[in-house]
Protein backbone atom coordinates (compact mmCIF):
# COMPACT_ATOMS: atom_id res chain seq x y z
CA UNK A 1 0.00 0.00 0.00
CA UNK A 2 1.34 3.43 -0.89
CA UNK A 3 0.92 6.34 1.47
CA UNK A 4 1.74 9.98 0.91
CA UNK A 5 3.11 12.20 3.61
CA UNK A 6 5.21 15.31 3.94
CA UNK A 7 8.05 14.02 6.08
CA UNK A 8 9.28 10.57 7.07
CA UNK A 9 11.42 10.33 10.20
CA UNK A 10 13.61 7.25 10.53
CA UNK A 11 14.34 6.50 14.18
CA UNK A 12 12.01 7.01 17.16
CA UNK A 13 14.46 8.18 19.77
CA UNK A 14 14.49 11.58 21.45
CA UNK A 15 15.40 13.47 18.25
CA UNK A 16 12.92 11.61 16.06
CA UNK A 17 10.00 11.99 18.45
CA UNK A 18 10.68 15.67 19.14
CA UNK A 19 11.00 16.33 15.41
CA UNK A 20 7.68 14.57 14.84
CA UNK A 21 6.06 16.64 17.57
CA UNK A 22 7.38 19.99 16.40
CA UNK A 23 6.48 19.25 12.76
CA UNK A 24 3.00 18.12 13.80
CA UNK A 25 2.63 21.35 15.79
CA UNK A 26 3.27 23.19 12.51
CA UNK A 27 0.43 21.18 11.01
CA UNK A 28 2.65 19.06 8.76
CA UNK A 29 1.98 15.43 7.91
CA UNK A 30 4.64 13.24 9.40
CA UNK A 31 5.27 9.53 9.74
CA UNK A 32 7.77 8.34 12.35
CA UNK A 33 9.25 4.89 11.71
CA UNK A 34 10.97 3.02 14.52
CA UNK A 35 12.57 -0.41 14.02
CA UNK A 36 11.80 -1.40 17.63
CA UNK A 37 9.95 0.53 20.29
CA UNK A 38 9.92 4.30 20.64
CA UNK A 39 12.49 5.57 23.12
CA UNK A 40 13.85 2.12 23.95
CA UNK A 41 17.46 2.60 22.83
CA UNK A 42 19.95 5.14 24.18
CA UNK A 43 17.27 7.86 24.34
CA UNK A 44 15.49 5.76 26.95
CA UNK A 45 18.40 4.46 28.99
CA UNK A 46 20.79 7.40 29.28
CA UNK A 47 21.65 9.18 32.51
CA UNK A 48 19.06 11.91 32.07
CA UNK A 49 21.36 14.89 32.46
CA UNK A 50 20.32 18.28 31.04
CA UNK A 51 23.75 19.75 31.67
CA UNK A 52 24.70 23.17 30.34
CA UNK A 53 28.10 23.53 32.00
CA UNK A 54 31.16 22.33 30.17
CA UNK A 55 29.67 21.77 26.74
CA UNK A 56 31.58 22.24 23.50
CA UNK A 57 31.80 26.02 22.92
CA UNK A 58 30.19 25.71 19.48
CA UNK A 59 27.18 23.94 20.92
CA UNK A 60 25.88 26.66 23.26
CA UNK A 61 23.32 28.33 20.99
CA UNK A 62 21.83 24.89 20.25
CA UNK A 63 21.98 23.83 23.90
CA UNK A 64 20.30 26.95 25.16
CA UNK A 65 17.57 26.70 22.55
CA UNK A 66 17.07 23.13 23.68
CA UNK A 67 16.98 23.96 27.38
CA UNK A 68 14.20 26.46 26.73
CA UNK A 69 12.14 23.63 25.24
CA UNK A 70 12.97 21.33 28.15
CA UNK A 71 11.92 24.02 30.61
CA UNK A 72 8.58 24.14 28.89
CA UNK A 73 8.15 20.41 28.34
CA UNK A 74 5.12 19.86 30.56
CA UNK A 75 3.17 22.40 28.55
CA UNK A 76 4.56 21.32 25.18
CA UNK A 77 3.58 17.68 25.56
CA UNK A 78 0.79 17.85 28.13
CA UNK A 79 2.52 15.24 30.24
CA UNK A 80 5.22 15.00 32.91
CA UNK A 81 8.65 13.39 32.54
CA UNK A 82 10.18 14.26 35.90
CA UNK A 83 11.86 17.39 34.55
CA UNK A 84 13.57 19.00 37.54
CA UNK A 85 15.79 22.05 37.62
CA UNK A 86 18.26 20.31 39.92
CA UNK A 87 21.34 22.38 39.17
CA UNK A 88 24.68 20.86 38.21
CA UNK A 89 27.75 20.69 40.42
CA UNK A 90 31.02 20.19 38.58
CA UNK A 91 33.77 19.12 41.01
CA UNK A 92 37.54 19.40 40.60
CA UNK A 93 40.05 17.19 42.42
CA UNK A 94 43.21 19.18 41.63
CA UNK A 95 44.50 22.48 40.30
CA UNK A 96 44.48 21.37 36.68
CA UNK A 97 40.83 20.36 36.91
CA UNK A 98 39.99 23.58 38.70
CA UNK A 99 41.63 25.53 35.87
CA UNK A 100 39.54 23.57 33.40
CA UNK A 101 36.38 24.46 35.32
CA UNK A 102 37.37 28.12 35.12
CA UNK A 103 37.70 27.75 31.33
CA UNK A 104 34.30 26.09 31.11
CA UNK A 105 32.77 28.77 33.31
CA UNK A 106 34.01 31.59 31.08
CA UNK A 107 32.54 29.95 27.99
CA UNK A 108 29.24 29.39 29.79
CA UNK A 109 29.16 32.97 31.04
CA UNK A 110 29.84 34.32 27.56
CA UNK A 111 26.53 32.68 26.61
CA UNK A 112 24.71 34.25 29.50
CA UNK A 113 24.72 31.37 31.98
CA UNK A 114 25.22 32.10 35.66
CA UNK A 115 28.10 30.02 37.03
CA UNK A 116 29.01 30.07 40.71
CA UNK A 117 32.62 29.39 41.72
CA UNK A 118 32.66 27.27 44.85
CA UNK A 119 35.74 26.89 47.05
CA UNK A 120 36.44 23.95 49.36
CA UNK A 121 34.82 25.57 52.37
CA UNK A 122 31.65 26.61 50.62
CA UNK A 123 31.41 23.20 48.96
CA UNK A 124 31.29 21.49 52.38
CA UNK A 125 28.94 24.09 53.78
CA UNK A 126 26.34 23.87 51.01
CA UNK A 127 26.68 20.16 50.29
CA UNK A 128 27.95 18.65 53.56
CA UNK A 129 27.96 15.12 52.14
CA UNK A 130 30.81 15.93 49.73
CA UNK A 131 33.98 14.05 50.68
CA UNK A 132 37.52 15.37 51.19
CA UNK A 133 38.87 14.92 47.68
CA UNK A 134 37.05 17.63 45.71
CA UNK A 135 38.91 20.92 46.19
CA UNK A 136 36.61 23.20 44.24
CA UNK A 137 33.51 23.22 42.10
CA UNK A 138 31.35 25.27 39.83
CA UNK A 139 27.58 25.29 40.12
CA UNK A 140 25.03 26.11 37.45
CA UNK A 141 21.50 26.44 38.74
CA UNK A 142 19.80 26.27 35.35
CA UNK A 143 21.05 22.76 34.60
CA UNK A 144 18.41 20.10 35.03
CA UNK A 145 17.50 16.43 34.79
CA UNK A 146 14.59 14.47 33.36
CA UNK A 147 13.58 10.82 33.25
CA UNK A 148 14.78 9.40 29.92
CA UNK A 149 12.66 6.27 30.31
CA UNK A 150 9.52 8.38 30.03
CA UNK A 151 10.39 11.30 27.75
CA UNK A 152 10.54 9.91 24.20
CA UNK A 153 7.35 7.88 24.61
CA UNK A 154 5.50 10.85 26.07
CA UNK A 155 6.73 13.12 23.24
CA UNK A 156 5.68 10.54 20.63
CA UNK A 157 2.25 10.32 22.23
CA UNK A 158 1.89 14.09 22.10
CA UNK A 159 2.84 13.97 18.41
CA UNK A 160 0.25 11.23 17.83
CA UNK A 161 -2.42 13.41 19.37
CA UNK A 162 -1.55 15.98 16.71
CA UNK A 163 -2.04 13.33 14.03
CA UNK A 164 1.57 12.31 13.54
CA UNK A 165 1.68 8.65 12.60
CA UNK A 166 4.01 6.44 14.64
CA UNK A 167 4.99 3.03 13.25
CA UNK A 168 6.78 0.85 15.78
CA UNK A 169 8.44 -2.53 15.04
CA UNK A 170 8.91 -1.34 11.48
CA UNK A 171 12.24 -1.41 9.66
CA UNK A 172 13.03 0.85 6.75
CA UNK A 173 14.33 -1.46 4.04
CA UNK A 174 14.88 1.10 1.29
CA UNK A 175 14.90 4.84 0.79
CA UNK A 176 15.41 6.34 -2.61
CA UNK A 177 14.89 9.60 -4.40
CA UNK A 178 11.90 9.86 -6.69
CA UNK A 179 11.64 13.11 -8.60
CA UNK A 180 11.65 15.92 -6.09
CA UNK A 181 10.97 13.63 -3.15
CA UNK A 182 11.62 10.19 -1.66
CA UNK A 183 10.08 6.77 -1.53
CA UNK A 184 10.51 4.90 1.74
CA UNK A 185 9.82 1.17 1.93
CA UNK A 186 9.46 -0.90 5.07
CA UNK A 187 9.62 -4.57 6.02
CA UNK A 188 5.94 -4.39 6.85
CA UNK A 189 5.09 -3.63 3.23
CA UNK A 190 4.54 0.12 3.53
CA UNK A 191 5.57 2.30 0.60
CA UNK A 192 5.62 5.93 1.61
CA UNK A 193 6.14 8.85 -0.75
CA UNK A 194 7.36 11.98 0.97
CA UNK A 195 9.09 15.30 0.39
CA UNK A 196 11.73 15.01 3.11
CA UNK A 197 13.44 12.35 5.19
CA UNK A 198 14.94 12.83 8.64
CA UNK A 199 17.66 10.35 9.55
CA UNK A 200 17.61 10.19 13.35
CA UNK A 201 18.42 6.49 13.62
CA UNK A 202 21.11 6.88 16.27
CA UNK A 203 23.81 4.23 16.24
CA UNK A 204 22.03 2.70 13.21
CA UNK A 205 21.97 5.89 11.11
CA UNK A 206 24.80 5.10 8.71
CA UNK A 207 22.60 2.72 6.73
CA UNK A 208 20.41 5.61 5.61
CA UNK A 209 23.33 8.01 5.05
CA UNK A 210 25.26 5.48 2.99
CA UNK A 211 22.22 4.79 0.82
CA UNK A 212 22.79 8.36 -0.37
CA UNK A 213 26.52 8.12 -0.86
CA UNK A 214 27.81 9.72 2.31
CA UNK A 215 29.11 8.40 5.59
CA UNK A 216 30.76 9.24 8.88
CA UNK A 217 33.32 7.36 10.99
CA UNK A 218 30.73 6.49 13.64
CA UNK A 219 31.31 3.75 16.18
CA UNK A 220 29.08 2.41 18.94
CA UNK A 221 29.74 2.55 22.68
CA UNK A 222 27.71 2.94 25.82
CA UNK A 223 27.85 4.52 29.26
CA UNK A 224 28.28 2.04 32.12
CA UNK A 225 25.62 2.98 34.65
CA UNK A 226 24.27 1.68 37.92
CA UNK A 227 21.68 2.61 40.48
CA UNK A 228 21.52 2.13 44.24
CA UNK A 229 18.58 1.15 46.37
CA UNK A 230 16.49 4.15 47.53
CA UNK A 231 18.10 6.16 50.34
CA UNK A 232 16.95 9.27 52.19
CA UNK A 233 16.99 12.17 49.74
CA UNK A 234 20.10 14.25 50.25
CA UNK A 235 21.84 14.99 46.93
CA UNK A 236 19.88 17.73 45.20
CA UNK A 237 22.11 18.66 42.23
CA UNK A 238 23.42 16.48 39.47
CA UNK A 239 27.11 16.00 40.28
CA UNK A 240 30.00 15.39 37.92
CA UNK A 241 33.74 14.94 38.33
CA UNK A 242 35.70 16.91 35.74
CA UNK A 243 37.47 13.75 34.51
CA UNK A 244 34.14 11.97 34.08
CA UNK A 245 35.06 9.23 36.55
CA UNK A 246 31.82 9.88 38.41
CA UNK A 247 28.56 11.43 37.25
CA UNK A 248 25.67 10.97 39.64
CA UNK A 249 22.36 12.27 40.83
CA UNK A 250 19.74 11.23 43.33
CA UNK A 251 16.11 11.09 42.31
CA UNK A 252 13.56 12.33 44.85
CA UNK A 253 12.39 8.74 45.50
CA UNK A 254 15.89 8.12 46.80
CA UNK A 255 17.85 6.04 44.28
CA UNK A 256 21.30 7.32 43.35
CA UNK A 257 21.97 6.95 39.63
CA UNK A 258 25.59 6.70 38.53
CA UNK A 259 27.43 6.87 35.21
CA UNK A 260 31.18 7.09 34.72
CA UNK A 261 33.90 6.81 32.10
CA UNK A 262 35.55 4.93 30.54
CA UNK A 263 32.59 4.03 28.38
CA UNK A 264 31.83 0.45 27.55
CA UNK A 265 31.64 -1.49 24.29
CA UNK A 266 28.24 -1.83 22.63
CA UNK A 267 27.04 -4.01 19.79
CA UNK A 268 24.37 -2.44 17.56
CA UNK A 269 23.96 -5.68 15.58
CA UNK A 270 23.27 -7.98 18.53
CA UNK A 271 21.61 -5.02 20.27
CA UNK A 272 23.59 -5.63 23.45
CA UNK A 273 25.70 -3.36 25.65
CA UNK A 274 26.73 -5.48 28.63
CA UNK A 275 28.39 -3.71 31.54
CA UNK A 276 31.61 -5.49 32.57
CA UNK A 277 31.54 -5.91 36.38
CA UNK A 278 35.00 -4.31 36.60
CA UNK A 279 33.50 -1.06 35.36
CA UNK A 280 30.74 -1.27 37.96
CA UNK A 281 33.32 -1.77 40.72
CA UNK A 282 35.39 1.15 39.43
CA UNK A 283 32.32 3.32 39.43
CA UNK A 284 31.39 2.25 42.96
CA UNK A 285 34.83 3.31 44.16
CA UNK A 286 34.70 6.62 42.31
CA UNK A 287 31.27 7.40 43.74
CA UNK A 288 32.50 6.70 47.27
CA UNK A 289 35.38 9.15 46.75
CA UNK A 290 33.05 12.07 46.16
CA UNK A 291 30.17 10.95 48.36
CA UNK A 292 31.67 8.79 51.14
CA UNK A 293 28.37 8.67 53.01
CA UNK A 294 27.12 6.29 50.33
CA UNK A 295 29.66 3.61 51.25
CA UNK A 296 27.01 1.24 52.59
CA UNK A 297 24.52 1.93 49.82
CA UNK A 298 23.65 -1.17 47.84
CA UNK A 299 23.97 -1.25 44.08
CA UNK A 300 20.91 -3.04 42.73
CA UNK A 301 21.12 -2.77 38.95
CA UNK A 302 23.46 -1.89 36.11
CA UNK A 303 22.71 -1.00 32.50
CA UNK A 304 24.08 0.72 29.47
CA UNK A 305 22.90 1.70 26.01
CA UNK A 306 24.04 1.82 22.41
CA UNK A 307 25.20 5.29 21.46
CA UNK A 308 26.82 6.49 18.24
CA UNK A 309 30.18 8.25 18.66
CA UNK A 310 32.30 10.26 16.25
CA UNK A 311 36.03 10.88 16.65
CA UNK A 312 35.67 14.65 17.24
CA UNK A 313 32.95 13.98 19.84
CA UNK A 314 30.47 16.14 17.92
CA UNK A 315 27.23 14.98 16.32
CA UNK A 316 26.16 15.12 12.70
CA UNK A 317 23.33 17.64 12.31
CA UNK A 318 22.09 19.20 9.09
CA UNK A 319 21.06 18.64 5.51
CA UNK A 320 22.75 15.91 3.51
CA UNK A 321 25.69 16.92 1.32
CA UNK A 322 24.52 14.68 -1.50
CA UNK A 323 20.75 14.79 -1.32
CA UNK A 324 18.56 17.85 -0.76
CA UNK A 325 15.56 16.97 1.40
CA UNK A 326 17.49 14.44 3.49
CA UNK A 327 18.36 15.66 6.99
CA UNK A 328 20.74 13.95 9.37
CA UNK A 329 20.84 14.10 13.15
CA UNK A 330 22.86 11.29 14.69
CA UNK A 331 26.11 10.43 16.44
CA UNK A 332 25.48 12.45 19.59
CA UNK A 333 28.51 11.00 21.37
CA UNK A 334 26.72 10.41 24.65
CA UNK A 335 25.48 13.97 25.06
CA UNK A 336 22.36 14.02 22.91
CA UNK A 337 19.76 14.10 25.67
CA UNK A 338 20.18 17.76 26.54
CA UNK A 339 20.38 19.02 22.92
CA UNK A 340 17.70 16.66 21.55
CA UNK A 341 14.70 19.02 21.51
CA UNK A 342 16.87 21.87 20.17
CA UNK A 343 18.16 19.68 17.37
CA UNK A 344 14.57 18.83 16.49
CA UNK A 345 13.73 22.55 16.39
CA UNK A 346 16.68 23.16 14.06
CA UNK A 347 15.57 20.31 11.77
CA UNK A 348 12.10 21.82 11.61
CA UNK A 349 13.66 25.21 10.67
CA UNK A 350 15.61 23.53 7.88
CA UNK A 351 12.64 21.53 6.58
CA UNK A 352 10.09 24.32 6.78
CA UNK A 353 12.15 27.48 6.22
CA UNK A 354 15.15 26.04 4.43
CA UNK A 355 17.43 27.77 6.94
CA UNK A 356 18.08 28.17 10.68
CA UNK A 357 19.36 30.96 12.86
CA UNK A 358 21.04 28.47 15.17
CA UNK A 359 24.66 27.94 14.11
CA UNK A 360 25.18 24.31 13.13
CA UNK A 361 27.97 24.44 10.54
CA UNK A 362 30.45 22.60 12.76
CA UNK A 363 28.08 19.62 12.82
CA UNK A 364 27.95 19.13 9.05
CA UNK A 365 28.56 15.66 7.71
CA UNK A 366 30.85 17.30 5.15
CA UNK A 367 33.58 17.62 7.79
CA UNK A 368 34.48 13.97 7.40
CA UNK A 369 35.58 14.51 3.81
CA UNK A 370 38.76 16.14 5.18
CA UNK A 371 41.19 14.76 7.73
CA UNK A 372 39.11 13.81 10.75
CA UNK A 373 39.71 15.81 13.93
CA UNK A 374 40.18 13.57 16.93
CA UNK A 375 38.99 14.87 20.29
CA UNK A 376 41.28 14.42 23.28
CA UNK A 377 38.21 12.92 24.99
CA UNK A 378 38.67 9.85 22.85
CA UNK A 379 41.77 8.92 24.79
CA UNK A 380 40.23 9.76 28.19
CA UNK A 381 36.68 8.50 27.96
CA UNK A 382 37.16 5.13 26.25
CA UNK A 383 39.12 1.95 26.78
CA UNK A 384 41.62 1.58 23.96
CA UNK A 385 39.90 -1.26 22.09
CA UNK A 386 36.39 0.12 22.45
CA UNK A 387 37.14 2.87 19.97
CA UNK A 388 38.35 0.49 17.33
CA UNK A 389 35.45 -1.79 18.36
CA UNK A 390 32.10 -2.10 16.73
CA UNK A 391 31.35 0.12 13.82
CA UNK A 392 27.93 1.60 14.12
CA UNK A 393 25.35 0.47 11.57
Name the site residues for other proteins (rule: CB under 8 A): 37-38, 40, 44-45, 149-150, 153, 156-157, 160, 166, 168, 228-229, 274-278, 280-282, 284-285, 287-288, 294-303
Cβ at position 188, least distance to other proteins in Å: 16
Q: From the CB of residue 39, how many other CB atoms can be counted at a distance below 10 Å?
A: 24
From residue 6, give the alpha-carbon distance in Å to each of 163, 181, 200: 13, 9, 16
Cβ at position 286, least distance to other proteins in Å: 9
The residue among 190 and 284 lying less far from other proteins, judged by its C-beta, is 284
Cβ at position 213, least distance to other proteins in Å: 34
Cβ at position 329, least distance to other proteins in Å: 21
Cβ at position 379, least distance to other proteins in Å: 17
Angstrom distance (rounded) from CA 18 to CA 290:
35
The residue among 74 and 109 lying less far from other proteins, judged by its C-beta, is 74
218 and 211 Cβ atoms separated by less than 8 Å = no
Cβ at position 32, least distance to other proteins in Å: 10
Strand partners, 274: none
Residue 48 DSSP class: -
The residue among 52 and 386 lying less far from other proteins, judged by its C-beta, is 386
The residue among 166 and 313 lying less far from other proteins, judged by its C-beta, is 166
197 and 182 Cβ atoms separated by less than 8 Å = yes
Q: Which of 332, 305, 259 is nearest to 55 (CA)?
A: 332
The residue among 28 and 153 lying less far from other proteins, judged by its C-beta, is 153
Angstrom distance (rounded) from CA 354 to CA 347:
9
Cβ at position 78, least distance to other proteins in Å: 12
Tell me whether residue 232 is exposed, middle or buried, using C-beta atoms within 10 angstroms of its C-beta: 0 to 12, 13 to 18, 19 or more: exposed
The residue among 126 and 157 lying less far from other proteins, judged by its C-beta, is 157
Phi and psi at residue 371, to the nearest 5°: -60, 135
Q: Which of 230, 224, 246, 229 is nearest to 303 (CA)?
A: 224
The residue among 283 and 311 lying less far from other proteins, judged by its C-beta, is 283
Phi and psi at residue 362, to the nearest 5°: -65, -10
Amino acid sequence: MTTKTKIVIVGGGLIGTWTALLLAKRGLDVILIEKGIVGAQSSGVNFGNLRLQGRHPGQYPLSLRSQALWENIDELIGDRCEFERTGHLYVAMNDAEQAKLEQYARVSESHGLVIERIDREELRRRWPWVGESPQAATYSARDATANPRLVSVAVARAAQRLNAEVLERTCVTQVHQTGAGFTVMTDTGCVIDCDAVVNSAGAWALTVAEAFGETAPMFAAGPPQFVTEPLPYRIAPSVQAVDGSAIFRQVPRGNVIFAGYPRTAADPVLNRAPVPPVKTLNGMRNLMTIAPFLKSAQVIRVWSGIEGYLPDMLPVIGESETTPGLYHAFGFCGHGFQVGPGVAAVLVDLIVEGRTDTPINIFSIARFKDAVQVSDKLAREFDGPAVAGSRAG
